[in-house]
Structures are given as structure tokens and as C-alpha cells.
Structure 1
Amino acid sequence: MDPTRAPDFKPPSCNETPDPPLAPQSTIPKSGPIMPYVLADYNASIDAPIHPRDYKKHSKFGRQVSTAHHGSIPMKQDELQPLSNETSSEDEQDVDVNGDNDIGSSRPRMPFNRQMSALFDEEESQHIGSRIHKYQIADLEEVPHGVVRQARTLEDYEFPAHRLQKKLRNPNKLPLVIVACGSFSPITYLHLRMFEMALDAISEQTRFEVVGGYYSPVSDNYQKPGLAPSHHRVRMCELACERTSSWLMVDAWESLQPAYTRTAKVLDHFNDEINVKRGGILTATGAKAGVKIMLLAGGDLIESMGEPNVWADSDLHHILGNYGCLIVERTGSDVRSFLLSHDIMYEHRRNVLVIKQLIYNDISSTKVRLFIRRGMSVQYLLPNSVIRYIQEHGLYVNQTEPVKQVMGNKE
């Protein structure tokens, strides 16, 4: 996140010691660069990079099945989480359309498919604004099975690991966790899509296997127009992950901090939770391996890293050198030329993976907030559950933002 929005921001000096100090390099796994070295980097030949589609396994039917593409993420319908703790499947339990689901109830229960049809007939004319009908959205308070909600106080905080992969599936690959820091006010389909684009790029171009993905919403101390309270932004991210993804999680640690937290320290937090406290991830041999942590960001964040007196050099070396960065290019931006011109980024270029948008998407949270203030529809710009949450809590309706913020936004 842009350090200039910290309440106590001051331009960094060359010899200034980071405060709080960065994590020692000895605690960060040495997994090598994200991008494989090419022959031009060496005087002698090296082994060619492993092609991601070369790794195959035998299915129970005796056929060879590739596990390279989305290998670590359950994509089949029967592999997804049940809807909730109370309703695990249609066959296991019928649902009462009137909400009376007590075990001892004598009222006959309506089958699940008939219940949905009844809801459609009963509430067809009812809607909650922005053309979203109630029957289209699950109850916001219904938590899907196995999903952990984040605490609203630092004292009750626990690191979310319910979707963190416990064991590396491909023995030829190295484990990787993706972290996205941002405002997420509100989270949009582009924020969700960024992780899928990163997943494709990592699978096709690197030796790494994604074992988890996290959103880390910034705290309320981040001075930015249009920033909803942190507990609302965390909950909207949770709703988006719960309803649309089988592998993404939300970590509220950064949002619960009493002061603005530098991005380098946020990555240190994830490294501490995953590699120091949990010892990494299990491999095929039963041993544990360190997990590489990488920052997922848009091209505008990388451009801010090149602005003078914004990012401390020590933080940039720490982020790019010890962790790495996945950069999603925006329309009209040339991240590769920028990397070439920036000394620190060029030094760590092998730890930076530029992801090209094959289908351009310029949805921004700023535009969504503007549409909400103008009473316009935001359907198909963000998940329905997030739209309903915004409406039920009256978010963004009475806010105002500077014209420059709205027109010149790169969020």
C-alpha cells in the first residue's frame, strides 16, 4: 500500500533503520526466484525449466491426468465445500421453506428443490435495490461449512488456515502463498479475478504450486477517501471468498493494527504464521518445506515504488528480494519498461512475475462507490452477497470524494 497515506508518513532517508524492524532473513525460506533463470544468466548450461504440463498422475481409471493447471485448487463440483454446517447436501437434509428446521418439529419439510421454487414464487416481486432479488442470495449469516470468520479485536484474532493446503500435491514443485494488500472498499470481481490470473501464470511459467491465497485489508489508519470501516471491508471480503471461491481466505490482522502497517511488515506477518509457527508445509516425503510468500499487486502499486521519497529502499529490497511480487498489468501500462528503468526492481527482476491481462478488466472500487452514490446498478461488478451487504449497512451512499480522486483513480 502507498506509504504516503500513513498518518505519520515522512520521506525515508538512505541510512534510516526501519521501524519496526523487518524480519531477519534467516526466518524467510530460500526457495529461489519466481522466474527460472535462462541460459543467458549463466556461463554454463543448466537444466531446462520443468514444463508444468509434464507432471501427470494416474487416475483411478488408469488414465494419465494432468494436475498442472489449477492442480492445488478443487475445481470439481463434488470437491467443493458443503453450503453450511446445518445443510451439507440435498440428500442429507431437507430445508423448511419457512425457516423452521428444528429436529423435533412435526411440520412436514419441503424438499430443497421445491423450497427454492417456492422462494422464487413468493419473493419474485421483492428486491433490495440494484436489481438484486432476495432469492438470488444466500443468507448473509449462513457460514459455509469449514469457513472461519475473522475476529473484530486483536485479542480474539487467530490466523485463518482453514483453506491453506496442508500438503504439497506435486513433488516436483515448490509451495507458494499469494497475498494481496489493499483497501477493498469494496472488493470487486477484479480483485477476485487477479488471483485466478496469478494462478494461471504461476502454473504455466514457474516451478511453484499455489497452496493458499489471502486478502489483507488495510487498517482504518490508512488515509484514503471512500474507506469504509475496516470490519465492514473485512466482512465484504469474507462474503466474496465464501460465496465464490474454494481456496481464498481473508486475514484481518493488518486491519486490526492500531497504526498503519507497512507492506513489508504485513508479509513478515504471513511468513511468521506459515513458516515460523507452522513450520511450512508437508511434502511427499513427510518432511516440511518452507513456503514462499509473494505480494499480488496492480501496476499502479509498482509505479508508486518508483516515485522518490515514498518507499524506503530497505522495504523494497525486503519485499522484492526476500518475498517477491506478482504484478497484474493494467490497460495502457508498461510494467516491463518500468522494471528495466528502476534499479532496485531490476536487481530483483527474477523475483517479479508480470501477469498480462488477456481479458482487460478496469473495474475499480472508486467507480463502484460513485455508482452507489448516484443510485446506479452495480450488479455484475461485484458479488451479489457484497452488494446486499452494502445495501443493508448503507455503505458509501452519503460519502463524498474529491473529483481528482474519482477521475484519476488507478485503484
Structure 2
Amino acid sequence: MASTLQANGHENAYIFPAHRIVHRMRDESKTPVVLVACGSFSPVTYLHLRMFEMARDYIKQQTQFEVVGGYLSPVNDQYKKPGLLSATHRVNMCTLATELTSNWLMVDPWEGFQPKYQPTAVVLDHFDHEVNEVLGGIETRSGERKRARIMLLAGSDLINTMSEPGVWSPTDLDRILGRYGTFIIERAGSDVDQAMESLAPWRDNIFLVRQTIQNDVSSTKVRLFLKRGMSVRYLLPNPVVDYIEANGLYLDDGPNAGAAGPTYVTTSASSQEQEASGSLSQMAS
């Protein structure tokens, strides 16, 4: 199903990115799962990407799920978070990071280019529709098709906000944690156990993934480094660092913080790496 997305004042045909979805399961006794991380990604860091790898390891070793896809969904500009670049820049950086450094992660620009901010529950509904209704779910070796479980991937700070009264709509919470569920990556300084007590009704749908190697890299720290003229190499994928430098991003809190930037990078199943590399070269010129 194609629709249109708005970027830089121009309409772009939208096609749900599915070029890395596993269309046939290896073990049909399991439940297919698609991991979705919603966030600012301003900029995307190695920790954002590492979260997917940690969750996939946990799923393989401790659950009856089988990962068939992973998505980054950059938040809409109307989120109005400090340091939030335009969706165009953030989608571009996420696309470069996934297409050039991963063989299974994808970026869905739908949320970022909607006319207004979309609640997380609505974003998960969007993925559920695209994967299970439009694509028809995931095929098993016997030819049967199974509905994929769409699940939110997030850091433990999210669970803390979910446990605070009045921060999240009760209806949205029940949809996110009741219908879909979440994998939570442990982060230093977050009291997950206390938060989990407040979310007891959905305990069976919340999976906590412990960090065995601590990583506290954050987009906030990266932006501070860049503003001070310090190097951020090896904190972010190199293509993202190159993109930031080529476009003069995060130098201050002024126009660069919300500049529209170049047309967003698109990818296809047959030539995603070449297109992403070509787009980066064009943007740098």
C-alpha cells in the first residue's frame, strides 16, 4: 500500500520498507516478532543499534519468539524535544546507520513525516497493519502464515516514565503493553524493579534485557561533544559522523537544530547500500 510523506515541502511516495524482513520462519513452533524502536535518534548512536542486537540475543536464548525484522522509527518533528533535528536529517542518519552497518535493521520514515505527532500506540498499530495485513504476516516452512507480534524496543528510562501517574494515557499504556508488549534494555541509573511494580498488570508482556557490557552513550552527550567541537567518532557509525560533518549539524542550538536539510534517503531491496552511499556523497557536495 503506497501513500505520501512530506519532506522538505515535497511529497514522497511512501512504501513500507520490507527488504530485510524474514519472510519465511526457520522454526514454525515459535512466534515471529518484529522489534520497533521509537525515538528521537538525534543523532542515532551505536547504543541504539546495539539495543537491537542485545534484544535479539535475549529472544533467541530465553523466549519462544523468532525475530523476523527490526525497525527504527524516528519521532515526528512536532515532538518538540530540545536538540531535535528535522525528521529529514534524522531519517537520513538512521538510514545510513542501518543500511551500511547492519544486515537486518531497517528505518521506517512514516512516523517522522506525518502531519502531526503520532503516539507510540498508533505507531505500533501502523506496523501491525503493514506487516500483518498488507504483507500478510510471516510464512512458515509448511506454507502456513502466522501473524507477527509487533513489540516495542526501548531503554529502561521508558519504563520509568510509564510507571509515573499522568505521563502516559491509560488507554495507550494498555495498548502498548497489553496488546503488543515490550523488550526493555537495562540502562545505568534506572530503577527498573520499582517501575515494574507499578506495571504489574502487564508484567507478562514486559521483558527486561540486562546489559552485560555497560554502554552509557547518549544522543544528548553526543550533541554536547559536537557543540564543543569534540570528536564523536567511534560513538556513532562512521557514515553518520560523515553526514553530520558534511551538513554542519549540532554546531549550536540555532537554525541547525531544526533545519530541514536535504531530501531524505530512500532505499530499495536491490540496491540499498549503493543508494545510501550515493546519497551521502551528494549531500556532502
Q: State the TM-score bracket (shorter-chain normalisation).
A: 0.7 to 0.9
Partner residue in 1 for 2:253: 399
Answer with 1 or 2: which has the greater Rg: 1
Partner residue in 1 for 2:157: 300
SS in 2 for 1:293: strand
Deviations, residues 266-295 of structure 1 (Å, cap 9, x unaligned):
000000001111220101110111000000
What are the residue-to-residue correspondences of 1:230-379 with 2, within 5 Å? 230-340=87-197, 342=198, 345-379=199-233
Say if 2:6 and 2:114, in contact at 8 Å, map to a contact too: no
What are the residue-to-residue correspondences of 1:28-39 with 2, within 5 Å? none
Amino acid at match of 1:235: N
What are the residue-to-residue correspondences of 1:5-154 with 2, within 5 Å? 152=7
What displacement does 1:210 show?
Answer: 0.1
Deviations, residues 102-131 of structure 1 (Å, cap 9, x unaligned):
xxxxxxxxxxxxxxxxxxxxxxxxxxxxxx
Say if 2:160 and 2:191, in contact at 8 Å, map to a contact too: no
SS in 1 for 2:70: strand
Partner residue in 2 for 1:218: 75
Find the aligned partners of 2:35 and 2:71 in 1 and give their Cα distance: 6
Amino acid at match of 1:198: A
Q: Which runs of 5+ in 1 are unaligned?
A: 1-149, 401-411
Find the aligned partners of 1:169 and 1:230 in 2 and give their Cα distance: 35
Find the aligned partners of 1:353 and 1:202 in 2 and give their Cα distance: 9
Distance 1:250 1:154, change over 3 A: farther
Find the aligned partners of 2:74 and 2:173 in 1 and give their Cα distance: 20
Give aligned pairs, total. Answer: 248
SS in 2 for 1:163: coil
Amino acid at match of 2:182: C
Partner residue in 2 for 1:97: none
Structure with greater proportional strand content: 2
What displacement does 1:327 show?
Answer: 0.5
TM-score, length basis structure 2 = 0.84
What displacement does 1:336 show?
Answer: 2.5
What displacement does 1:333 show?
Answer: 2.2
Find the aligned partners of 2:88 and 2:190 in 1 and give their Cα distance: 33
Say if 2:186 and 2:209, in contact at 8 Å, map to a contact too: yes
Find the aligned partners of 1:158 and 1:151 in 2 and give their Cα distance: 13
Distance 1:170 1:151, change over 3 A: farther
SS in 2 for 1:378: coil
Find the aligned partners of 1:374 and 1:216 in 2 and give their Cα distance: 28
Deviations, residues 187-230 of structure 1 (Å, cap 9, x unaligned):
00000000000001111110000000000000110111101110
What displacement does 1:329 show?
Answer: 1.0
SS in 2 for 1:390: helix
Identical residues among aligned pairs (%): 57
Say if 1:154 and 1:253, in contact at 8 Å, map to a contact too: no
Partner residue in 1 for 2:29: 172
Query: Are residues 1:197 and 2:51 paired?
Result: no
What displacement does 1:151 show?
Answer: 8.1
Find the aligned partners of 2:90 and 2:141 in 1 and give their Cα distance: 38
Find the aligned partners of 1:206 and 1:369 in 2 and give their Cα distance: 36
Amino acid at match of 2:211: Q
What displacement does 1:398 show?
Answer: 2.2
Deviations, residues 294-341 of structure 1 (Å, cap 9, x unaligned):
00011111111122222111110110010001101111323133212x
Q: RMSD of aligned C-alpha atoms?
A: 1.4
Deviations, residues 24-46 of structure 1 (Å, cap 9, x unaligned):
xxxxxxxxxxxxxxxxxxxxxxx
SS in 2 for 1:156: strand
